[in-house]
Amino acid sequence: MNGETLTILPALPELILAVGAMALLMLGVFRGDKSYRQVANLSILLLVFCAVVMINQVGGEREVIFGDMFVTDAFAVFAKTLVYIGSAVAILIAGKFLSEHNIAKFEYPILILFATLGMLIMISANNLMSLYVGLELQSLSLYVLAAMNRDRLRSTEAGLKYFVLGALSSGMLLYGISLIYGFSGSTDFDVLATSLRGEGGAPIGVVIGLVFLLAGLAFKVSAVPFHMWTPDVYEGSPTPVTAFFAAAPKVAAMALLVRAMINGFPALIAEWQQVIVFISIASMLVGSFVALVQTNIKRLMAYSSIGHIGYALVGLAAGTQDGIEALLVYLAIYLTMTLGAFAAILSMRRNDGMVEDIDDLAGLSTTNLPMAVAIAIFMFSLAGIPLLAGFFGKWFIFLAAVEAGLVPLAIIGFLASVVACYYYLRIVKVMFFDESAGAFEGGHGQAVSAVVGVAAVLNSPVSFLLIWPLVGAAAWAAGSLLF
């Protein structure tokens, strides 16, 4: 380090985001809660600006800075773009909901900005220590966001549950990291990768540490068997916050998991592959079967997201460049489906506030056909019906798994998605063929309608046009990881 000039250009978007978030915090503090709209709009602008700076200034060249702590490459650019989109949409769709529930505080966009910063650090982590601080920055913001509606019991319960279990998972993660450090002498991914490749294999302590590390990260992506918190937290948190939870942090944690495994422990692929295969199968099965009995649509989406993480993990389990490419495509499609579905849930309003039961959707096709069609598109896409975007995601994932010789995994995944079809199609059936439960009142705001519309178009057969550029970008991103 001594004598070198400190290069900070690759971290420029993160620095802008950090300084901008603090400036907006000041703005909010001095102007009080009435500044919510202004802070929220400026936050969205800030996110867009950072994304533009990242794409224009940083680019896909692999650069490692801050003493090998922070890495930018094409993979980071791809994943960070998804995170920026997820965070900006989460702020965009929240305004109406928050002001109606008297929680339109300027801290909401600020906390989302800090959570986003944490996710960017996670995605760019090239060291177990920067992995941990990024994860904590993100998690801490998310705990607060979950409990944002502090006068409502479910919301505080969600926040507390998330916090306690999150702290436990951080503990496991740190224990694993300390074992890895103790037995390998380094926390740097590049050093770990080269020194563990040596003669005689890795010390047993590193393998045990790796299992703990995986357990901690599986909690963060809510993969089975570390998924227990997900349904309760998703149900209890304010809906825009749930939309945020289901989108951006999942992408960031998956990207982190991929980078840690592919860059940090390529020599231990046999060890981590079996763990990933197990949690992938378990997530797909639990996500499919337990969702069958849900009546609350937010809980249903929670199990759905658990299942989708299982499918995405199939790509990592393949451990090949094709697998990572499929995983990135899957995450991008999952992001559009999830954000669209949650925006649609935000439009489920009756005179006594928000309704969240699947039965409340009954007969939506007679009262609000465009919304019913949009929700049907999301459900078909989530189920992976051909012609829609979700199908491409699953197709690439299973293709990669088969090419990597994981045929049983692909078959289990396929069967699980057939089971999952049932509950997605049940929603479509309720909307189109059941007796109407009364119209939803409008007034959810133009932003929510716009998000529903754009996401529906992206998931509709229009996706045929978009899928190939997306695959190209994912291939470019996956190629930048060191295989």
Percent of the chain that is helix, strand, coil (3-state, to 5): 75, 5, 20
Cα dist from 273 to 97, 223, 313, whole Å:
42, 15, 10
Nearer of residues 150 and 350 to another protein, judged by Cβ: 150
**Does 40 engage in binding with another protein (CB under 8 A)?**
no
With beta carbons less than 8 A apart as the criterion, state whether 172 and 216 touch.
Answer: yes
The contact pattern for another protein, residues 372-411, with x = CB under 8 A and - = no contact, is ----------------------------------------
Tokens of 323: 């697998």
Q: How many residues bind to another protein according to rule CB under 8 A?
A: 49
Q: How far apart are CA 77 and CA 131, in angstroms?
A: 17
Cα(first)–Cα(last) distance of the chain, in Å?
A: 27
For the bound state, the minimum distance from the C-beta of residue 276 to another protein, rounded and expressed in Å, comes to 24
**Does 18 engage in binding with another protein (CB under 8 A)?**
yes
**Does 371 engage in binding with another protein (CB under 8 A)?**
no
The contact pattern for another protein, residues 158-177, with x = CB under 8 A and - = no contact, is -x------------------
**Does 194 engage in binding with another protein (CB under 8 A)?**
yes
Which of 64, 163, 150 minimizes the C-alpha distance to 105? 150
Choices 142-150, 258-266, 323-331, 414-422 (CB under 8 A): range interacting with another protein: 142-150
Nearer of residues 124 and 242 to another protein, judged by Cβ: 124
Nearer of residues 48 and 204 to another protein, judged by Cβ: 204
**Does 50 engage in binding with another protein (CB under 8 A)?**
no
**Does 133 engage in binding with another protein (CB under 8 A)?**
yes
Which of 106, 98, 15, 1 minimizes the C-alpha distance to 54? 15
**Does 148 engage in binding with another protein (CB under 8 A)?**
yes
- One of 144, 339, 371, 458 touching another protein (CB under 8 A): 144
Alpha carbon 287 to its chain centroid, in Å, reads: 16
- One of 78, 143, 334, 440 touching another protein (CB under 8 A): 143
The CB-based long-range contact list for 352-355 (8 Å cut-off, 24+ gap) reads 353/100, 354/97, 354/239
For residue 379, give every residue at least 6 positions away whose Cβ sits within 8 Å of its Cβ, in sequence order, or none.
341, 424, 425, 427, 428
CA torsion sign for 71, 108, 301, 387 is negative
**Does 31 engage in binding with another protein (CB under 8 A)?**
no
> Residue 80 carries which side chain, given as an amino acid letter?
K
Instruction: Give Rg (Cα) of the chain.
Output: 21
For the bound state, the minimum distance from the C-beta of residue 1 to another protein, rounded and expressed in Å, comes to 6
Q: How far apart are CA 209 and CA 225, in angstroms?
A: 18
Which of 171, 110, 104 minimizes the C-alpha distance to 135? 171
For the bound state, the minimum distance from the C-beta of residue 137 to another protein, rounded and expressed in Å, comes to 5
**Which residue stretches of 260-320 are H helix?**
269-289, 297-318
Q: Give the β-pairing of 353-354 and 349-350.
A: antiparallel
- One of 35, 81, 130, 459 touching another protein (CB under 8 A): 130
The contact pattern for another protein, residues 197-236, with x = CB under 8 A and - = no contact, is xxxxxxxxx-------------------------------
**Does 25 engage in binding with another protein (CB under 8 A)?**
yes
Element (H, E) at 350: strand 349-350
| Binding positions for another protein, 61-120, rule CB under 8 A | 66-67, 69-70, 105, 107, 110-111, 114, 117
CA neighbours closer than 13 Å in the CB half-sphere of residue 318: 25
How many residues in the chain?
483
- One of 196, 253, 291, 361 touching another protein (CB under 8 A): 196
**Which residue stretches of 221-268 are H helix?**
229-236, 239-259
| Binding positions for another protein, 264-323, rule CB under 8 A | none
The DSSP result for 44-56, as a single string, is: HHHHHHHHHHIII
Nearer of residues 184 and 460 to another protein, judged by Cβ: 184
**Does 479 engage in binding with another protein (CB under 8 A)?**
no
- One of 1, 352, 446, 469 touching another protein (CB under 8 A): 1
Nearer of residues 113 and 277 to another protein, judged by Cβ: 113
Other beta carbons within 10 Å of 290: 19
For the bound state, the minimum distance from the C-beta of residue 114 to another protein, rounded and expressed in Å, comes to 5
For the bound state, the minimum distance from the C-beta of residue 450 to another protein, rounded and expressed in Å, comes to 28
Choices 75-83, 140-148, 364-372, 416-424 (CB under 8 A): range interacting with another protein: 140-148
Nearer of residues 147 and 318 to another protein, judged by Cβ: 147
For the bound state, the minimum distance from the C-beta of residue 91 to another protein, rounded and expressed in Å, comes to 16
Longest dimension (CA), the chain: 74
Binding site for another protein (CB under 8 A): 1-2, 6, 11, 18, 22, 25, 66-67, 69-70, 105, 107, 110-111, 114, 117, 121, 129-130, 133-134, 136-137, 140-141, 143-144, 147-148, 150, 159, 183-186, 191, 194-205
